[in-house]
Structure 1
Amino acid sequence: MTVSLQDKSVYNLVTSCIDKQIGVNEFLNFYKEFYTEKFASVLENDDSENDIGGAIEVSNTLSDDFVKLMNSKKSLIIAEYITKILFENYNSDLIKTFMPKLSDVHESRMLIHFFSKASYYFATLNDKLVVEQLNKDLSDSIIPTLLTLSIDPTDNELIVSLFKFLLSVVTLASTPIVISVQYKDSSQDLMKRMSKINKLLFKKVSEAIDSHIVFKDSKQPLKEMKHEYISSPSITSPQFISSPLSMMKTPMSVSGPSAAKYKDMKLLRYYKNIWLNNKIIKWEPINSDFLSRYVSIANSIFQENTPSPQISDALISDLIETSFTCFAQFVSNKQYHQTNANLNLLERQWIIFISKHLPLLILKHSSTNPQVVTSALEKIDTKVIKAIKAYYSEKDDAKSRNEDLFEDYPSASLDIRHDFIKSLIMLGLQPPQLINDFLRDDQVIDPKTLPTSDALTYLSPQGTQETVTDVPSFIQTSLDSLELQSILNTNTDSSNGLHQVLLNFETVSPTKQKELCDSLIQILDQATINFSFSTITKICALLSFNFSHSLTSLLSYCSPNALTSILMRYVDELWPNVEKSKKEEVEDSDEAIHISLSFSWALLLMINLQKNYDISLVDVSLIDSNSNLANSFSTRFISGLVDVPDNFIIEGGDPSVQDVQVKSHKLVQDWLSNLFVNGSISDALMQGTDAKQLSNLVPFIFKQVIYALEIDAIVDFNNIVGGIEYFIQPFMLSGLIKIVFWLEDYLLHLKYSDKQEEVINKIFVLVNTLFNPSTLNEDSQTFHSAILRMNVLRLLKIFRQFKKQPQSNYGVYSSDAQENSVLDMLINKMVSVLGFSPVYYVDSRLLTQENGYSQQKPLGYDRFLIFNENPVNKIMTNQINSFWNLHSSTYYNLDYLKEVIDLVTPRKFLTDVLLTLNYKLTTYGVPAVRNKSSGIESEQVLEYLFYFLVLYDCQSQIDAAKMIQLFEDDVDYNDNVAEGDIAVKAEPASENNTSDKQDDNGNPKTDDMQDDDLDMLFGETETSTHITEVEANPIVVKEEPKQYNEVSALERNSFGIILHDMKRWQDLAHKNKDISQKEYDVFCKYHDKYLNMLKTCVF
């Protein structure tokens, strides 16, 4: 039977639902039934006055129960239940009654959860009816309640959650929210608290209140005074205001406004510098959002409530000066302090930013006043100019820099300032004559020789200069007429328009560079969808060679993820469709070649992006919701480039299946027979094996041949050479990729083995057959050069090591060997490939030092070198001392710092830095600080370090929000919270246990189910025994496997994840009394500092 609910309360309903682990959505159905049955008689009274009074009485009754529930210290799911009742089942009377009673709720965690869930609901709300009802209640109940809510001023989490809720409802206002002036003071008090907790949220809420809320009878507030230090050019340049500490007779207070102001003044330029470096090294977009975030850096570190200045000429001037100062420090460090590294990609990114992106920002956001730029350039410190000139002088001619040690300026005439000015002239922002103002007195450039428009031009085959009016059409036309082998001709007068433009890409105006890059990405995207194999092949080929740093420029304009995801989609998802539907229809041999080459080039460009630009395919796949990482061929293939397995299994096959093993074995046998016995490849075999299959099959065969040579199992070596020559045919080129990388480790093993000279000779003959063939198909030439470039440095190093062997070892490689030995030909081939177009992380002397000998220092074949005089522990000591000294230059060269972190591992780096800094700061204070006991500088050291750690980990506010959620999940969900967590998680299990009560679509059956279920919640029917049986297995929820955590996966190597994991171990150790309270407090301070920086940092 159905039990009457007249004597039941909403308190009983909620507690029963918690006990039964009822999900939020299902609870709302129970509540509606409860509400209808219990209050129907009250609400259906015909007397309007009684009706109103009854509604108020009902609302008061429910509100009192809500307050009682929120103070009950039960599961946090209570807050979710109440959110559903109030807002999703929108009840205006109930909201007006309940909101003022929030002050009676003393459980801060419950309030935090309530505001968080409500914020999420309104942030995703698209129900216009609810929005209309909400607008009616904002001014008289919701906003006044939030502004006057009595909360603990030290509870930062509660304040943040309240403000997020306030922001979510205020932004939904369709008309101004008019409230009494009496709420203004409380509003300002709350805002003042918020400004010290989360600057970015404070800014957003402040703007929302200013634009949506009107305080009735209030006067317009006076405009706040601009912070006196915010526009000082000395903050962002070496013309730095001297420390007020040195001018004071008594030590400055370690707290209060003066300390905060001094900190702001001293460190603002440091923060801007590291922010810019992070922005550039991570390929983040340079757009209007860039400027708004740049201008917010000051507010993110100021301790005071200061408004962010608007984007203006002063901001542009500040950015110009800061950029050149950063670049000068960067190249100066590289020149004098990083002789053990060959890192030049970040330098190129800086050059592109200053010479191309900065002019674009000026074009879009600055006034037409040309004095903005000229005054900014004139303000640049002479030390900055000298550093830039010295670096460019060394690059142009190292000897000329030492001709006159007393010369004030180096001999180089042009540097990055002139590239910057040339771009401004092309955009019409400066007159051509300006460039001579920044040259030495004895030098001059004819202004007439400088382009004064941003037009894109090229020389036609007839020798006339053509202007491009339609960039996408120009690209497509050029691609259609491009002969692939002509790419190897580096003559800047190439007859192909697009090739010619890419060869001169650095001279193209910023606007046209961006348009070209955007168009190339769009055309490539469409080509993969439409299976335009020739277009895919040619675009990937042109980008792979990075002519005039064109690929690097493209990545700065377009997200690297955009290009990478297009290539991954083609190789992983679309390629099977190519094999099924396209190849059978193709009769043209050229088109068949382009089909195979399109796959090979796409794969090669992805390798280029990962190897040279550190673009993680795994991260791209994790970010792309449409990508299937588990079945990704590209990530699997590229992650195992150096590995060629001893057993071959056809692509996509299960090695444990007997049929797959048989097919794999037969495929290998067929290819071995065709290559080395028949001397030709049958059409059936060629058509039955696609480029993806060959990418693994060819290196497997090559490895088996090499091993057969080692044990002298080859009868006819000439047949082997003839078969290997097929590997460089266009349709088999994908198989060459792994060979180039696998040979690195194999040749290193060979060098130190005791193999006979004859065997080694034969192996090098085979390698030369692949790397330096006497004849090469014209369709293969371009890809052949491109794949050698991918691992040219390591191979060149090994070849030169063989050449240096004593004569007694391998006669053919000794100094008196024949002049054109196989090894010499391989070395010459590698050098020619290396110097063909820009390659990063290369010691330039490799192109001139024939035998790898240098009097200055050993030649570097790697990005980062470890010498006896500069071991790892010395490198780490220097880095930590720089952190300790607050020497900002440490953080300029993030490429160098990243190599150090990767070398010692992020975990080791973090622990060593924190332990050493804690010891040094505690024992010695900060060097050069007169008052050693002052805590200001010590805190600055740590805050600047954590600013670096957070920027290193996160690229955007979204990344930071996810990391914050990961941090706070463990902090928020204590023992009481765990109950709520289980209750929420139990919802899927509950659905499974009641599957027999659902229809075929998984919806609950309506037969009397809700009546029975509602009664069963209170344990008053005979069917309640069934519920007891279901409850007998509550442990199932706990035993469910961990769900995929996107943050932990994407940030798997981040300092934040490491720090958070270490905090868990510290908690356990502290609980078991394995560490002292002081040690635990220190680590908690680090954890909290990182979390606080996540919340306040501008990304």
Structure 2
Amino acid sequence: MTVSLQDKSVYNLILKCIDKQVPVPEFLNLYKEFYSEKFSTVLGNDNSENDINNTIEVSNNLSDDFVRLLNSKKSIIIAEYLTEILFVNYNSDLIKSFMPKLSSVHENRMLVHFFSRASLHLRTLKDKLIIDQLNKDLSDSIIPNLLTLEVDPTDKELIVTLFKFLQATLNLATSTIVLSAQYSDGSQDLLRKLSKVNKLLYRKTSQTLDTKLLFKDSKHMIKDTRHEYISSPSITSPQFISSPLSMMKTPMSTSGTSAAKYKDLKLLRYYKNIWLNNKIIKWEPINSDFLARYASISNSIFQENAPSPQITDGLLTDLIETSFTCFAQFVSNKQYHQTNANLNLLERQWIIFISKHLPILVLKHSSSNPQVVTSALEKIDTKVIKAIKAYYSEKDDMKNRNEDLFEDYPTASFDIRHDFIKSLIMLGLQPPQFINDFLRDDQILDPKSLPTTDDLFIQTQQGTQEIISNIPTFITDSLNSLELQSILNHSNEPNNGIHQVFLNFESISPTKQKEFSESVLSTLSEAIDSLNFPIITKLCALLSFNFSHSLTSILSFCTLSEFVKLIMKFVDNQWSSAIATKKEDSDDSDEATNMSLSFSWALLLLINLHQIYDISLVNASLTDGNINLENSFSTAFISQLSDIPDEFILEGGNPKDTEAQLKSHKLIQAWLSDLFVNGSISDNLMQSTDAKQLASTVPFIFKQVLYALEINAVADFDSIIGGVEYFLQPFMLSGLIKICFWLEDYLLHLKYADKQDDLINKVFKILDTIFNPNTLNEDSQTFHKAVLRVNAVRLLKIFRQFKKEPQTNYGVYSSDSQEHSVLDSLIEKMVAVLGFSPIYYVDPRLLSSDSGYSQQKPLGYDRFMIFKENPVNKIMTNQINSFWNLHSSTYYNLDYLKEVINLVTPIRFLTDAIQTLDYKLTTYGVPAIRNKMASIESEHVFDYLFYFLVLYDCETQIDAARMIQLFEDDTEYNDIYYKRLAETSSHTEENIPTKNPVKMEEENRTKTEDLQDDDIDMLFGENETSTHIAEEEVRIIDDVFEPKKYDEGRALKRDSFGIILHDMKTLHSISYKNGNISKEEYDRVNKYHDKYLHMLKACVF
């Protein structure tokens, strides 16, 4: 064959290889042949200037073709071909030419695959010659171009693969890489994007950058000392670290009888504790069958036992004793072993359960025998009481510290036992004197001061108490007379009844709390159905502030998912459909204000439910046929709270539609003109832009204003101040939500990007205008305070970082300034809004300390923190050792354990826990046993672990049934998965046979021989001697996979341990059939899969 080489290029070569479906390893041979024939006459082996110039020209031409290919939107096998050329057949000149052009590649899907394949190769690279060559290129070509790569912060997959590639290259560095200071900003910008996507990879990469990179003529990279940590080669080292709790005393006998007895006596209490903790943390209702389910725990786990007795006083006694024991262990762990976390929501849920729900259970199910309670309280272990008293005493000490310098004598504190007994007295289950008789060694109360009925009452303006007999009517009437701005005033007892109830919610009797909670939900539902905007506004406002932990208590008495769906239905559907009609029917400005505020308050309440109470809006959408997940405004908005796009498009508009783009552009132009030029907003503009649209329009305008300041494009700064003041108008308040979240990243950018002092001064003046205005419309006052609370902790942290440097002398925010600076005002504002009503996941010192940087223990601004003295590997080791020790302590603090699981990812947590426990039990047995335990006793460790896994995954029997169905009848999923895995097989392995294995092997051998015999010229013309079989049977890669039918069970439990285990079994089954793993490894995974399934069927939910 004779085809002119002048017509050949690597671009055409690769396209021909794709058409012929050439395997990746064979492609490299073809490329080498092509390179030799094409350039051997041009490139010599000397170092002459002419030869160097020719090398540069060839490399540039090749790299230009690489960029064209990556942007061509063709098969992703292109990325694999290029990985072979660039990194397997390493060429330093080609790397130097190609890496600067990476920024010209806009096809992110191709980049993701390229970085992934390159990372995989570099991690396994052993060739010392190539490693030496690569080290020479790291500082000049590879690292600088990676750090300056512009990455869309919303493309999470690209961010992760980029950093994995960066980490793989840095791991091959044999010495510190010195870079110019200009690359420092790029590295920090990329790290900030990574921190939002993958916290664990962020921490690993941060340390790698700190140790491997050095930026000359610059300070060291700014690090948050509160998040320092120590890396470890493994977070599951088999080395034993003693648990802080005492070792469990277990019998030394290994007989089957003693093992069963040990299991019954020791573990039943643990299983009950895990069950209770899961019930509470998941907001599962404490309904009429609660006691029956609690009673059946023993039978479900220990099926050899006799049937448990019916619900009796003895069962209530056991539940009360178990609850207090569980709570004591919970607060003890929190007090001594969780100094790196600020988790207090689950503690409040426990308090509500013990002080409100337990008394209701006693009221409904006991025989009215007062000995039920006294017997339970007397059975509580003295160590349990001591732990509870110690915890409450320390909390009181923190509150009262420095309040009385002359107080030398400690005073007894009230604790949860007092709350429990007070509720019993309200319900008539105990006499008032009982509290002093039983708690005689603690704080003494006047029995006459204790309410002895469960009546709900309020204080009238005349100072008398009025009993509320009809709660639903009371709620409606009080809301109608409530002035929203009045809830900001706590100096005196409020005149409004419902406001009083919310402020004193903790003191209400359990039965009335339950009735009031159900009535609130009913009133809200009726208001939404009838589109009563004032009622919706006021109820959402009262709930959002969580006065006296009222929202938390109300959520414990209702079905949480129904509550969320109700508000989502209003935000996503009913408000939008009603707004046009309401506007046409009424020109009343008050009505328009109520419509706007109802949307803003409902959206803010949803954000609180999602962020504070960890409620999944996606799951709520999937289980509600009335909510379309794809078109759900609330789900999309809340999932991107901190993102303000660079291009604006109208709500519901298509970004690719020219007409939508034009309308969006005109709307923004009109707003910019009215806000910053005309100085007033036209009626037409206000009427054409509703609160839902303004929720994204205002943040976009705000972002553009700050960006204009950065490039000195603002001529009149006063007009900017005047314009942003309009953001505080009631109908525009929804726009403040995203601003509060987006500012977090922007202020960090200002802090560490060496911006001019004048720019920072102007930014803080703008923030002071919208965060701390001199005057505020009375309709805006309440929402303004509420919206600042949602991200006040994060903003407070950043504001204090600006104040951290006393050597600077910024006129606005210098800590040396003698005047009351703007920054001081902003800090005080954030502290004030946080202290207005209860808030969770906050270090209490934030509200009493101005900065806290001089304190020995740094202030914690996050739920969960990684410190140098307590790194991730140590946390995981302690957790797994607690599983191994058969201690229940780990499972009490499910909030802490949940944070650990989310941090290391569920799949990593599960595989590390199982792997390590398997090793420890095989090698050591169980601690505190002189000899190894029998296998049946060691198996208790895994029984206990899998009981936790199943309860962690499933909340109801319906969840469990879906999971069981997935485990037992998943043939369709397995067929699709098997087919997909076969089609995407790596080039290092044979394709997975889907036909006769012998026949497939013969066909593959024939195809390989034919390819090797063909001349390279066939790639540029038809090969007449080719003996390939039909093209459809030669498959290398398929970009389009057959879609899998929607499976609601799998979708709802997408991150569950059960799905992970089931997918592990599927993969191991395929690998075992292909001879890639041993039968022992396959059987081990099957064993865990079966154990999970068995526990799934046995558990009571």
Give your verdict on TM over 0.5: yes
Paired with 1:789 and 1:400, the residues of 2 have a C-alpha distance of 25
**Number of the residue aligned with 2:597:** 597
Could you tell me how far 1:1082 is from its partner in structure 2?
1.3
Extract unaligned runs of 5+ from structure 2: 1-245, 404-408, 980-1039
Could you tell me how far 1:819 is from its partner in structure 2?
2.8
Change (3 A) 1:372 1:1057: same
What is the letter of the counterpart of residue 929 of structure 1? Answer: I
The 8 Å contact of residues 401 and 411 in structure 1, kept in 2 or not, is answered as no
Stretch deviating more after TM superposition (276-285 or 486-495): 486-495
Paired with 2:531 and 2:868, the residues of 1 have a C-alpha distance of 54
The 8 Å contact of residues 271 and 944 in structure 1, kept in 2 or not, is answered as yes
Could you tell me how far 1:242 is from its partner in structure 2?
9.2
**Number of the residue aligned with 2:262:** 262
The 8 Å contact of residues 565 and 621 in structure 1, kept in 2 or not, is answered as yes
1:824 equivalent to 2:842? Answer no
Could you tell me how far 1:440 is from its partner in structure 2?
3.6
Extract unaligned runs of 5+ from structure 1: 1-239, 404-408, 980-1037
Paired with 1:242 and 1:337, the residues of 2 have a C-alpha distance of 18
Q: Secondary structure of the residue that 2:458 maps to in structure 1?
A: strand
Paired with 2:927 and 2:717, the residues of 1 have a C-alpha distance of 70
The 8 Å contact of residues 389 and 410 in structure 1, kept in 2 or not, is answered as no
Could you tell me how far 1:589 is from its partner in structure 2?
1.6
1:427 equivalent to 2:427? Answer yes
The 8 Å contact of residues 413 and 439 in structure 1, kept in 2 or not, is answered as no
**Number of the residue aligned with 1:633:** 633
Could you tell me how far 1:1050 is from its partner in structure 2?
0.4
Could you tell me how far 1:410 is from its partner in structure 2?
7.4
Change (3 A) 1:870 1:539: same
**Number of the residue aligned with 2:254:** 252
Could you tell me how far 1:1077 is from its partner in structure 2?
1.6
**Number of the residue aligned with 1:1046:** 1048
The 8 Å contact of residues 721 and 769 in structure 1, kept in 2 or not, is answered as yes
Paired with 1:652 and 1:522, the residues of 2 have a C-alpha distance of 31
Stretch deviating more after TM superposition (430-439 or 778-787): 430-439
The 8 Å contact of residues 248 and 928 in structure 2, kept in 1 or not, is answered as no
Q: How does 1:1005-1024 map to 2 (within 5 A)?
A: none
Could you tell me how far 1:936 is from its partner in structure 2?
3.1
Correspondence for 1:1098 among 1084, 1097, 1100? 1100
Identity, % of aligned positions: 72
The 8 Å contact of residues 300 and 1098 in structure 2, kept in 1 or not, is answered as yes
How big is each residue's C-alpha offset from its partner over 1:555-592, in whole Å with a ceiling of 9 and x where there is no partner? 00012212111110001111222222112222322221
How big is each residue's C-alpha offset from its partner over 1:340-382, in whole Å with a ceiling of 9 and x where there is no partner? 0000000000000000000000011111111110111011110
**Number of the residue aligned with 1:1075:** 1077
The 8 Å contact of residues 534 and 594 in structure 1, kept in 2 or not, is answered as yes
Q: How does 1:257-656 map to 2 (within 5 A)?
A: 257-398=257-398, 411-441=411-441, 443-491=443-491, 493-656=493-656
1:674 equivalent to 2:680? Answer no
Paired with 1:784 and 1:1078, the residues of 2 have a C-alpha distance of 62
How big is each residue's C-alpha offset from its partner over 1:694-739, in whole Å with a ceiling of 9 and x where there is no partner? 0000000000000000001000000010000000100000011000
What is the letter of the counterpart of residue 761 of structure 2? Answer: N
What is the letter of the counterpart of residue 378 of structure 1? Answer: E
The 8 Å contact of residues 393 and 401 in structure 1, kept in 2 or not, is answered as no
**Number of the residue aligned with 2:186:** none
Could you tell me how far 1:400 is from its partner in structure 2?
9.1
Q: Secondary structure of the residue that 1:467 maps to in structure 2?
A: strand
Could you tell me how far 1:243 is from its partner in structure 2?
6.0
Paired with 1:633 and 1:670, the residues of 2 have a C-alpha distance of 24
Stretch deviating more after TM superposition (839-848 or 301-310): 301-310
The 8 Å contact of residues 725 and 769 in structure 2, kept in 1 or not, is answered as yes
Paired with 1:242 and 1:765, the residues of 2 have a C-alpha distance of 61
Change (3 A) 1:242 1:574: closer
What is the letter of the counterpart of residue 869 of structure 2? Answer: E
Q: Secondary structure of the residue that 1:397 maps to in structure 2?
A: helix
Change (3 A) 1:519 1:900: same
**Number of the residue aligned with 2:1010:** none
Paired with 1:808 and 1:394, the residues of 2 have a C-alpha distance of 39
**Number of the residue aligned with 2:952:** 952
Q: How does 1:973-984 map to 2 (within 5 A)?
A: none
Paired with 2:707 and 2:248, the residues of 1 have a C-alpha distance of 69
Q: How does 1:107-122 map to 2 (within 5 A)?
A: none
The 8 Å contact of residues 250 and 929 in structure 2, kept in 1 or not, is answered as no
The 8 Å contact of residues 389 and 415 in structure 1, kept in 2 or not, is answered as yes
Could you tell me how far 1:401 is from its partner in structure 2?
11
Could you tell me how far 1:808 is from its partner in structure 2?
3.4
Paired with 1:461 and 1:773, the residues of 2 have a C-alpha distance of 33
What is the letter of the counterpart of residue 1047 of structure 2? Answer: N
Could you tell me how far 1:691 is from its partner in structure 2?
0.4
Paired with 2:557 and 2:471, the residues of 1 have a C-alpha distance of 16
What is the letter of the counterpart of residue 321 of structure 1? Answer: E
Change (3 A) 1:385 1:684: same
Q: Secondary structure of the residue that 2:433 maps to in structure 1?
A: helix
Paired with 1:824 and 1:357, the residues of 2 have a C-alpha distance of 44
Q: Secondary structure of the residue that 1:466 maps to in structure 2?
A: strand
The 8 Å contact of residues 394 and 401 in structure 1, kept in 2 or not, is answered as no
Paired with 1:813 and 1:593, the residues of 2 have a C-alpha distance of 36
How big is each residue's C-alpha offset from its partner over 1:108-143, in whole Å with a ceiling of 9 and x where there is no partner? xxxxxxxxxxxxxxxxxxxxxxxxxxxxxxxxxxxx
Q: Secondary structure of the residue that 2:339 maps to in structure 1?
A: coil
Q: Secondary structure of the residue that 2:467 maps to in structure 1?
A: strand
**TM-score, L = length of structure 2:** 0.70
Q: Secondary structure of the residue that 2:393 maps to in structure 1?
A: helix
Q: How does 1:25-40 map to 2 (within 5 A)?
A: none
Q: How does 1:884-1033 map to 2 (within 5 A)?
A: 884-970=884-970
What is the letter of the counterpart of residue 1071 of structure 2? Answer: A
Paired with 1:241 and 1:422, the residues of 2 have a C-alpha distance of 37
The 8 Å contact of residues 492 and 504 in structure 1, kept in 2 or not, is answered as no
Paired with 2:430 and 2:619, the residues of 1 have a C-alpha distance of 42
Could you tell me how far 1:281 is from its partner in structure 2?
0.1
The 8 Å contact of residues 412 and 443 in structure 2, kept in 1 or not, is answered as no
Change (3 A) 1:442 1:710: closer
The 8 Å contact of residues 254 and 937 in structure 2, kept in 1 or not, is answered as no
1:869 equivalent to 2:872? Answer no
**Number of the residue aligned with 1:145:** none
Stretch deviating more after TM superposition (497-506 or 588-597): 588-597
Q: Secondary structure of the residue that 1:813 maps to in structure 2?
A: coil
Could you tell me how far 1:463 is from its partner in structure 2?
1.9
Change (3 A) 1:410 1:964: farther
Higher Cα Rg, which structure: 1
1:714 equivalent to 2:683? Answer no
Paired with 1:720 and 1:972, the residues of 2 have a C-alpha distance of 60
How big is each residue's C-alpha offset from its partner over 1:600-628, in whole Å with a ceiling of 9 and x where there is no partner? 00000000000100011001111112221
Could you tell me how far 1:1060 is from its partner in structure 2?
0.9
Change (3 A) 1:443 1:286: closer
How big is each residue's C-alpha offset from its partner over 1:76-121, in whole Å with a ceiling of 9 and x where there is no partner? xxxxxxxxxxxxxxxxxxxxxxxxxxxxxxxxxxxxxxxxxxxxxx
Paired with 2:643 and 2:608, the residues of 1 have a C-alpha distance of 18
Could you tell me how far 1:288 is from its partner in structure 2?
1.8
The 8 Å contact of residues 809 and 817 in structure 2, kept in 1 or not, is answered as no
Q: Secondary structure of the residue that 2:922 maps to in structure 1?
A: helix
How big is each residue's C-alpha offset from its partner over 1:996-1034, in whole Å with a ceiling of 9 and x where there is no partner? xxxxxxxxxxxxxxxxxxxxxxxxxxxxxxxxxxxxxxx
**Number of the residue aligned with 2:813:** 813
What is the letter of the counterpart of residue 1062 of structure 1? Answer: M
The 8 Å contact of residues 812 and 818 in structure 1, kept in 2 or not, is answered as no
Correspondence for 1:1086 among 1085, 1088, 1093? 1088
Change (3 A) 1:267 1:402: farther
Q: Provide the aligned C-alpha RMSD in A.
A: 2.4
Paired with 1:443 and 1:271, the residues of 2 have a C-alpha distance of 34
The 8 Å contact of residues 648 and 665 in structure 2, kept in 1 or not, is answered as yes
Q: How does 1:652-667 map to 2 (within 5 A)?
A: 652-667=652-667
**Number of the residue aligned with 2:847:** 847
**Number of the residue aligned with 1:996:** none
Change (3 A) 1:1039 1:369: same
Could you tell me how far 1:895 is from its partner in structure 2?
0.2
